[in-house]
Each structure stands twice: as structure tokens, then as C-alpha cells.
Structure 1
């Protein structure tokens, strides 16, 4: 019984390590998004950290339009980055976690 418990604890610790490694790797995965007309471009990491924002000069003339563009494009980029992040972390947990009854929240 204790051998099984120790094995499960070791597997959980291994999974936690793989999750941390995946999170670090996701800092290097870049997600690009831009407005339909290409006037605003943003790049995030898959961990949803903003890396770059490129704004066309024409948007600098209209503060309200720029704000609208930023909201729309940033939200799209965050959605993309979140999808990549969740898919990667889900793959690690499904691959690594032991089949523990009642712990299907990782599936």
C-alpha cells in the first residue's frame, strides 16, 4: 500500500517538474496578432506576457480608435496565447499523471 502511495507521490512530483519546465518553455513561444488592416500588431508569449506592440503612425492621430484597436487586438492575442498555454499544460498533465480515482480534473 505504501509502495503504491510513494509511487504516486513520485509521479506527482515528476509531473509538477514537467509542468514547470513547460511553463518556462512557453515563455519562448511567441503568439502574434494584428488588426484586420495591419495597423496594430502585438506579440505575446504563450504565458501571456506582452513582448512587442507595433502601432502604425496613422493610429496616433485618433486616441479613441487606437484604444479600440488595442482592446480588440490584445484580447485576440490573449485568447490565442491562452489556448496554446492550456493545450501544452494539459498535454503534460495527461501524459504524466497517474490514473487516480477522483482526480479526473486533470483530464
Structure 2
């Protein structure tokens, strides 16, 4: 009985380490997004850290338009980054879960 618990604790620590390594790796995964007309381009990491923003000069003439572009484009990029982040972390966490019959239904 205690062997099983110790084995599970070891697997939990290993999973925690893999999750941390995955989070660090996601800092290097870049997500690019742009407005539909290409006038605004943003790049962020899969951990949702903004790395760059490129704004076409034509957008600098209209503050409201630029704000709208930023909101829309950043939200799309954040959504993509969040999907990548959650998928990667869920895969690592699932690997570390003990094999309990019926648990697959809860992991979907």
C-alpha cells in the first residue's frame, strides 16, 4: 500500500517538473496574429507575453481606429496562445495521472 503511495508521489513530482518545463518551453513558442487588412501585427508567446507589435503608419492618424485594431487583434492572439498553452499543459498533466478506470471521461 505504501509503495503505491510513494510511487504516486514520485510520479506527481515528476509531473510537476514536466509541467514547469513545459511552461518554460511555451515562452519560446511564438503566436503571430494580424488584423484582417494586415495593418496591425502582434507576436506573443504561448504564455501570453507580448513580444512585438507592428503598427502601420496609416493607423496612427486615428486613435479610435488604432485602439479598435489593438483590442481585436490582441484578443485573437491571446485566444490562440491560450489554446496552445492549455493543450500543451493538459497533455503533460494527463501523462502524469495515475491510470484510474473511467478518468479519461473527465479529462476531455
Distance in 2 between the 1:85 and 1:36 partners? 24
What is the RMSD computed on CA atoms of the aligned residues? Answer: 1.8
- The alpha carbon displacement at 1:99 in A equals 2.9
State whether residues 94 and 106 of structure 1, in contact with CA within 8 Å, keep that contact through their aligned partners in structure 2: no
The residue that corresponds to 1:64 in the other structure is 64
Moved >3 Å (runs of 4+) = 103-106
The residue that corresponds to 1:2 in the other structure is 2
State whether residues 93 and 106 of structure 1, in contact with CA within 8 Å, keep that contact through their aligned partners in structure 2: no
TM-score, L = length of structure 2: 0.92
TM-score, L = length of structure 1: 0.93
Unaligned runs of 5+ in 1: none
SS at match of 2:38: coil
Distance in 2 between the 1:42 and 1:87 partners? 22
